[in-house]
Amino acid sequence: MSADGKLVRDRIPDLIRANGEDPITYVAAPAEYRQRLRDKLLEEVDEFLTADSTAAVEELADVLEVVYALAADLGTDRPTLEQIREAKATERGAFTNRLIWLGSR
């Protein structure tokens, strides 16, 4: 962990206490929280990209948790985020067909 700390899940301090340690924490101001969420997204995506196939789904769940937190920070709840995702998938498609675009003629 860096000297300036890192954003952790809400129950991590409790888990640290249960392990007999005394965690040192503070609550981030809104601007710092948003930046820390962005940093956490990069961290979690990197962990997903380097995970083996057995750990990849768990890492993807971590990515999703950060995405939900970012959406909430931007004033969007999970159902609204899902509606936006569905609308884009309806309009532009998803990624299920594994299409690779090589350009246009």
The reply to whether 100 falls in a domain is no
The residue range of the domain holding 37 is 12-76
Note the helical H segments in 1-105.
12-18, 30-50, 56-73, 78-92
The reply to whether 4 falls in a domain is no
The reply to whether 48 falls in a domain is yes
Mean pLDDT of all residues belonging to the chain: 96
The reply to whether 21 falls in a domain is yes
The reply to whether 40 falls in a domain is yes
* pLDDT tens, residue by residue, 34-81: 999 999 999 999 999 999 999 999 999 999 999 999 999 999 999 999
Q: Report d(CA 62, CA 43) in Å as an integer.
A: 10
Number of domains in the chain: 1
Spell 9-38 as b/e; 16+ CB within 10 A means b. eeeeeeeeeeeeeeeeeeeeeeeeeeebbe
